[in-house]
Amino acid sequence: MSNVSNNRDSWGSRIGYILSTLGMAVGLGAMWRFPMVVAQNGGGAFVLAFALITIIIVLPAGWAEIGLGRKTKAGSVQAFGSIIGKPGEKIGYLMSLVPLGLNMYYLIIMGYVLYYIVQTLAGAPFMVDPTGFFNAFSSNRVQATLWSLISLVFVTITNLGGIKKGIERACKVMLPVLFIILVIMAIRIMTLPGIAEGIEFYVKPDFSLWKDPNLWITASGMALFAIGLGPAFLLVYGSYLDDKADVTFDFATVASWNLTTCLLGGFATIPAVILFGLDLQTGPGLVFTVLPEVFKQMPGTLFFALIYFVALFFAGLSSGIANMEATVTVWVDGKKLDRKKVVLTVAAITAVGTIICNYFDYTKFDYFIANVGYNLSASFIAILLAWKFGAKRVHEEWLNPTSRIKLGNWYDVVYKYIVVPVLLYFTVSSIIGFVQLF
C-alpha cells in the first residue's frame, strides 16, 4: 500500500495536531453528553465502564485508524478503497454521512449554548425560572433555528481556513482555554459544603449495575463518541500527519486528556446536581435547566455561568469543525473537488438538516448516530484492518517504525480477538436497542 495523495494540507506542528484531535474528541461529548449519560446510567459504575472501554477498545482501534490515515494520506473513500477496492470506496462515502448527520443536531445544542452566553451577558434572566426559560426558548423553533445557523457560520468560517490556518489555529486557542475553565469549575464545585455525597455517586461504582447490558452499550457508544472512533474522524486527522509522526504516543496523549476532560466535565456537573437535590434524569436539557439552579446557589453566579457556557461553546465548536472536516475530506479526496466549494455545499446541506432537526425530536436520531452509527463504523474499520489487512502488519508497518511506544504481538491478539468481537457485540446490541425505541 502506498500513499494515495501527497498534494494536501498538513498539520503545522505536533502540538497543533494533538490539540486539534483533542478538540475533535472533547466537544459537547465531554461537557454536555457525558454528564447526561453518567446521570442516567448509575454514576460511578458507568464512569468506570467508560474508562475501561477507552483503554481496552478505543486505544488499539484508534492507533490502527490513525495509522491508515497517515499511510494513505486520504479520507475514508480512498483509504478503504486501497484495501478492498470499489466496495470500500462506497462504504467510505456512506460513512461520511455519520459526521454530517451528527452536525445537524449537534448545532442545535451549540445554538442553545451561544444563546445562553448572550443571555448571561444580559444578566442571566434564565436564572429566575431555568426550566420555563429553556422550554420557552427551545419551543420557539424559529429562534432556536436562527442560533443554530449562527453557530454553523462559526464552524464554516473555520473550515474554510483549511487544516493549518483554520482548524489548527482555532484549536490552539480554544482547547487550553476550555481546559482551564473546566479545572476552575471542577475546583469550585469540589469545594462546596456538603458535596461529598455527590462525589461518591460520581466516583464510587455500584458493580451490580454492570449486569445491565444497556449500561455497557451506552458506555461503548459514549467512549467511541467521545474520541471520534469509527466514522473516520481519526483517519481524516491522521491523514494530515507527516510520515515521521509518533502515532501511538500522540494518540495515547489525546485519549488520556480526553478521558481527563470528560471526568472534569462530570465533576463540574454531577456532584452539584446531587448536592442541591435536582433531577439527574433531566436528559438533554441538563446543562440548561439544572445547572442554572446550581449556579444561582453559588457565589459568583454570573461569572461561573458565563465561563461554563463559553467553555461549552468552545467544546462544541471544536467538534463541529471536526464533524464538517470528516465529511469535507471524504469528498475533496474522493472526487478531487475544490475544497471551498465542498465546505460551502456541506454547510448548506447541514443547514437544511439542522432546520429539520429543530422541528422534530432528535433524541432517537442521537441514539442512532452516537450508538449505532459509531459502533457500526468502528466495527467495519476494525474488521478491515485487524483481519483483512492484518493486525500484525498494522503495528509492524504503520505504527512501530516511528513510535516510542512499541507494540508487540499482544496488540494483534487484543485487536483481533477482543476489540473486534466486543465492537460487533455492541453494534448488534445498539441496533436492537434502537429498534426497541419504536
* DSSP-based three-state secondary structure for 332: helix
Q: DSSP H helical segments within 73-140, as ranges?
A: 76-84, 86-95, 97-121, 130-139
Neighbours of 90 (CB within 10 A): 13
pLDDT for res 359: 85
- Answer whether residue 84 shows pLDDT above 90: yes
CB 270, CB 185: distance < 8 Å: no
Mean pLDDT (whole number) for 132-136: 92
- List strand residue ranges (DSSP E) for 168-295, in order: none
- Answer whether residue 290 shows pLDDT above 90: no
- Answer whether residue 149 shows pLDDT above 60: yes
- Answer whether residue 389 shows pLDDT above 90: yes
Neighbours of 14 (CB within 10 A): 14
Residue 3 banded pLDDT, cuts 50, 70, 90: low
- Answer whether residue 119 shows pLDDT above 70: yes
Residue 158 banded pLDDT, cuts 50, 70, 90: very high
Mean pLDDT (whole number) for 4-8: 55
Greater pLDDT, 131 or 2: 131
pLDDT for res 223: 87
Mean pLDDT (whole number) for 125-144: 91
Neighbours of 47 (CB within 10 A): 23
- Answer whether residue 4 shows pLDDT above 60: no
Q: List the chain domain ranges.
A: 14-436
Which residue is it, cell 452516537?
370
- Answer whether residue 33 shows pLDDT above 70: yes
Mean pLDDT (whole number) for 256-280: 84
- Answer whether residue 340 shows pLDDT above 90: yes
Q: Over 142-184, what HEC string results?
A: HHHHHHHHHHHHHHHHHHHCHHHHHHHHHHHHHHHHHHHHHHH
- Answer whether residue 134 shows pLDDT above 60: yes
Give the span between the Cα atoms of 255 and 24, in whole angstroms: 11
Give the span between the Cα atoms of 429 and 65, in whole angstroms: 23
Q: What percent of the chain has pLDDT over 90?
A: 44
- Answer whether residue 421 shows pLDDT above 90: yes
Tell me the Cα Rg of the chain. Answer: 21
Give the span between the Cα atoms of 361 and 338, in whole angstroms: 35
Residue 268 banded pLDDT, cuts 50, 70, 90: confident
pLDDT for res 285: 72
CB 126, CB 116: distance < 8 Å: yes
Give the span between the Cα atoms of 138 and 35, in whole angstroms: 20
Pick the range with the lowest mean pLDDT from 40-44, 293-297, 398-402: 293-297
Which residue is it, cell 480512498?
78
What digits encode the pLDDT tens for the residues 319-335? 899 889 989 998 988 88
CATH superfamily assigned to domain 14-436: Amino acid/polyamine transporter I (1.20.1740.10)
Residues whose CB is less than 8 angstroms from the CB of residue 151 and which lie 6 or more positions away in sequence, other chains included: 107, 110, 111, 113, 114, 316, 317, 320
Residues whose CB is less than 8 angstroms from the CB of residue 314 and which lie 6 or more positions away in sequence, other chains included: 174, 175, 177, 178
Question: Residue 437, class by beta-carbon neighbours within 10 Å (0-12 exposed, 13-18 middle, 19+ buried)?
Answer: exposed
Q: Please, what is the average pLDDT of the chain? A: 88
CB 286, CB 36: distance < 8 Å: yes
pLDDT for res 269: 81
Residue 58 banded pLDDT, cuts 50, 70, 90: very high
pLDDT for res 370: 77
- Answer whether residue 32 shows pLDDT above 70: yes
Residue 41 banded pLDDT, cuts 50, 70, 90: confident
Pick the range with the lowest mean pLDDT from 25-29, 35-39, 42-46, 387-391: 25-29
Mean pLDDT (whole number) for 123-143: 91
Neighbours of 413 (CB within 10 A): 13
- Answer whether residue 2 shows pLDDT above 60: no
- Answer whether residue 152 shows pLDDT above 60: yes
- Answer whether residue 419 shows pLDDT above 70: yes
The packing angle between helices 141-160 and 339-358, to 10°, is 160
- Answer whether residue 135 shows pLDDT above 60: yes
Residue 112 banded pLDDT, cuts 50, 70, 90: very high
Mean pLDDT (whole number) for 293-301: 80
- Answer whether residue 374 shows pLDDT above 90: no
Mean pLDDT (whole number) for 90-113: 90
Mean pLDDT (whole number) for 113-130: 93
Mean pLDDT (whole number) for 309-317: 88
Greater pLDDT, 117 or 437: 117
Residues whose CB is less than 8 angstroms from the CB of residue 70 and which lie 6 or more positions away in sequence, other chains included: 238, 239, 241, 243, 245, 247, 398
pLDDT for res 375: 86
Give the span between the Cα atoms of 307 and 300, in whole angstroms: 11
